[in-house]
Amino acid sequence: MSEKIQMVDLKGQYLKIKDEVDDAIRSVIDSTSFINGPSVKQFADNLSEYMGGCHVITCANGTDALQIALMSLDLKPGDEVIVPAFTYVASAEVIGLLGLTPVMVDVDFGTFNVTVDNLRKALSPKSRAVIPVHLFGQSCDMEPILSFAEENHLFVIEDNAQAIGAEYTFSDGHKAKTGTMGTIGCTSFFPSKNLGCYGDGGAIFTNDDILAGKLRMIANHGQRIKYHHSVIGCNSRLDSIQAAVLDIKLKHLDEYCRARYEAASYYSAKLREFDPCCKFFETPVELEASTHVYHQYTLKIKDGRRDALKAFLADEGVPSMIYYPLPLQEQEAFKSITRSAESLEISHKVAYSVLSLPIHTEMTQEIQDKVLDAIRKFFANC
């Protein structure tokens, strides 16, 4: 097999469900209900059931989901929202966009996620909300984060764009899906996400009936009754074709999560066998309280060899990606609007050592062995 190795194999995944997806898309086109057609409600209902019964408000993309979430909380300019420094820009961009102040905190070196200790350092009289990001597919350690937020009257907006399907277990044994534990949860259906559509899409989750109504209103031009606008809102919709695709893929989500987890386990087993003392790199750390749905399989490469490894892999026909090359405190856009409570050195260190390997639902051991061989070959010369 000489097929090109890909970071994500959307084509292979599509071919397995092609007939079903093609029928669903055709039926939306036949109905011409392109906006707010029946597939949108059907998908929202099924997703709500999957998530454990919360309200689901669909919207145009994950960034809008975060923005609408923040808009629903009656925050004022200058209010502070605490966000990890190591994340995709969207988690913090919306804070700045709304005239709020992003306060950056460091992440844990092992899990890449924010910890309650770091959040605590950022607390000020202006703190109003925190945005824990469940990065690369596993939950932040939410139990202490939720208690901290409650003690300090902070809203919790979970950025669940990379972890849909992951589950967190509380100390009393009860489990919850990521995205349903905080005040509001947000997700993205960008094609390469774990539950991705064939364009843009997003959703907002909440267990609060009143907030659900407000979120729905904001996403729909600030109106509850057509042409009667109570607040300034936005126009953010999941279209019917995307909803129809998502409704089919949702049925496979658990199987997709499992495939990613199995691929990750195989990588980790082989890589630890090759480098048992972590001389060259560190494999992903799994939090005991969370399942990991491996949106990314991310190594930390030691001794400044990350970029050389990436270039070597590319020569060997193995793609890899750097998510994310700059922590937020080093991004031009945030320099004048942010405050940070600490040095953020771990976010810096992580950004300069991470390398994500190909991982997707169609991964075979044959592909993985090629990736692994190329990695071994690189370090054999070190």
Ligand X SMILES: *Cc1c(COP(=O)(O)O)cnc(C)c1O
Q: How far apart are CA 359 and CA 364, in angstroms?
A: 10
Q: How far apart are CA 174 and CA 9, in angstroms?
A: 35
Q: How far apart are CA 234 and CA 214, in angstroms?
A: 12
Using the rule CB under 6 A, which residue among 159, 167, 247, 362 binds ligand X? 159
Using the rule CB under 6 A, which residue among 88, 280, 297, 334 binds ligand X? 88
Q: How far is the CB of 225 from ligand X (least distance, A)?
A: 29
Q: How far apart are CA 190 and CA 197, in angstroms?
A: 6
Q: Which of 94, 148, 156, 56 is nearest to 334 (CA)?
A: 94
| Whole-Å CA distances, 255 to 13, 109, 194, 356, 382 | 12, 29, 11, 22, 38
- Strand 297-301 with 55-59, pairing: unpaired
Report if residue 190 touches ligand X, rule: CB under 6 A.
Answer: yes
Q: How far is the CB of 152 from ligand X (least distance, A)?
A: 24
Report if residue 115 touches ligand X, rule: CB under 6 A.
Answer: no
Beta-bridged to residue 228, according to DSSP, are: 225
- Strand 80-84 with 127-130, pairing: parallel
Using the rule CB under 6 A, which residue among 63, 111, 206, 356 binds ligand X? 63
- Residue number of the CB closest to ligand X reads 62
Using the rule CB under 6 A, which residue among 188, 194, 329, 338 binds ligand X? 188
Q: Exposed e or buried b for every residue in 127-139, given b needs 16+ CB within 10 A?
A: bbbbbbbbbbbbb
Instruction: Tell which positions 123-142 bind ligand X, by CB under 6 A.
Output: 133
Q: How far is the CB of 160 from ligand X (least distance, A)?
A: 8
Report if residue 297 touches ligand X, rule: CB under 6 A.
Answer: no
Choose the binding region for ligand X from 56-64, 111-119, 249-257, 342-350 (rule: CB under 6 A): 56-64
Compute how many residues bind ligand X; rule: CB under 6 A.
15
Closer of 88 and 267 to ligand X (Cβ)? 88
Q: How far apart are CA 257 and CA 314, in angstroms?
A: 27
Report if residue 58 touches ligand X, rule: CB under 6 A.
Answer: no
Report if residue 298 touches ligand X, rule: CB under 6 A.
Answer: no
Report if residue 67 touches ligand X, rule: CB under 6 A.
Answer: no
Using the rule CB under 6 A, which residue among 202, 233, 284, 327 binds ligand X? 202
Using the rule CB under 6 A, which residue among 5, 90, 146, 264 binds ligand X? 90
Choose the binding region for ligand X from 57-65, 107-115, 146-154, 249-257 (rule: CB under 6 A): 57-65
Choose the binding region for ligand X from 59-67, 145-153, 218-226, 257-265 (rule: CB under 6 A): 59-67
Q: How far apart are CA 323 and CA 342, in angstroms?
A: 22
- Strand 167-169 with 223-225, pairing: unpaired
Q: What residue ranges bind ligand X (CB under 6 A)? A: 61-63, 87-88, 90-91, 133, 159, 161-162, 188, 190, 200, 202
